[in-house]
Amino acid sequence: MIMKTPPRSVDSYTAQELRDIAERAEWRRQDGYIVPPASVPIYVEALRALARERARG
């Protein structure tokens, strides 16, 4: 049986974790990973912007 982990608040992700999620979303775009395929570009850009802000401190 696969156990799902509880959802995390976006505030708990590090800049690197956000970049990793963005990369996976692009890679799995056609699978509907996280968001519908047509929404992936804006989702990825938002994650990367948040990662940049988080990296600045």
Q: Apex CA 40: angle with CA 37 and CA 46, to 5°?
A: 160
Contact status, residue 44 vs residue 22, Cβ threshold 8 Å: yes
Give, as one character, the DSSP assignment of residue 4. Answer: P
Model pTM above 0.85:
no
Is pLDDT larger for residue 28 or for residue 3? Answer: 28
- Whether the pLDDT of residue 1 is over 70: the answer is no
Residues 16-50 pLDDT 10s: 999 999 998 888 888 877 788 889 999 999 999 99
- Domain boundaries along the sequence of the chain: 13-56
How many CB atoms are closer than 10 A to CB 5?
5
Q: What is the DSSP letter of 1?
A: -
Q: For residue 23, what pLDDT is reported?
A: 92
Residue 34's pLDDT is 76
User: What does the pLDDT read at residue 28?
Assistant: 87
